[in-house]
Amino acid sequence: MSDVSVDAAGLVFAPLDPTHRDLLHGWLRADHVQRWWGIEGPVEATASYIDLIRAMDHQRGWIVSDAAGPFAYVETYVVSGDPLADHYAVEPGDRGLHLMVGEVDRMGTPASRALAVSILTGLIAEPGATRVVCEPNVRNERMLRFCASLGAEQRAEFVFGPKTAALLAWDPDTIAANWPDAAADAVRRGRRWDAMDGASR
């Protein structure tokens, strides 16, 4: 898949590939990321993680850049194909996201908010999408506040692997009401972020 230029904010989502190994490894080792993502080990471990994500049928990884360069990593996925589906009443059209702002000086900036808006409006524009969800650690107060500021509603808490997760959700009406122009633009562009085969488990 070619690079995907997302919106007027100038964000570009590059599909994750092996050339991103060193960049992603540096982010994963940063203090503000490592405690929440928990991917440890040498650069070879990051290479293996990239291979894992690229092999998935239900999930995609993206390196996100703007005019100042790469600053974030995002995973978008079809929830029905993910272990998360075992922990709540999943709908067939649920789309999920994982978001990491790798460059610490870009956290809490307009760039990080523009990134989140691009993901939310892009995912809800997917054919058949009915809701967008994420599942941060309940201890990640910064992420919880950030999502709440974007209109997320907390629907549940549950043990999910090594963490207790908060299930956060955005419905289409919330996304359209908060960002009508971006939502309409996403529909016009007809992006297929998660046009995946084998999504159902």
Beta bridge partners of 4: 13
- Asked if residue 153 is part of any domain, the answer here is no
- Asked if residue 56 is part of any domain, the answer here is yes
**Local structure of 16: helix, strand or coil:** coil
**Local structure of 85: helix, strand or coil:** helix
Percent of the chain with pLDDT over 90: 79
- pLDDT > 60? residue 52: yes
> What pLDDT is attached to residue 9?
63
Q: State which H helix or E strand residue 5 sits in.
A: strand 4-5
- Asked if residue 68 is part of any domain, the answer here is yes
- CA distances from residue 167 to 154, 159, 191 in whole angstroms, order as listed: 6, 11, 26
Confidence of residue 4 (pLDDT cuts 50, 70, 90): low
Tokens encoding 124: 């809800």
How many structural domains comprise the chain? 1
User: Which CATH number covers residue 104?
Assistant: 3.40.630.30
- Asked if residue 142 is part of any domain, the answer here is no
- pLDDT > 70? residue 81: yes
- pLDDT > 70? residue 97: yes
Q: Whole-model pTM?
A: 0.91
Give the C-alpha separation, 59 to 50, whole Å: 12
- Asked if residue 174 is part of any domain, the answer here is no
Tokens encoding 137: 């650690």
Give the C-alpha separation, 11 to 118, whole Å: 8
Confidence of residue 186 (pLDDT cuts 50, 70, 90): confident
- Asked if residue 40 is part of any domain, the answer here is yes
Which range of residues forms the domain containing residue 83? 4-132
- Asked if residue 160 is part of any domain, the answer here is no
Backbone φ and ψ for 90, nearest 5 degrees, come out as: -70, 145
- Asked if residue 200 is part of any domain, the answer here is no
Tokens encoding 188: 């016009």
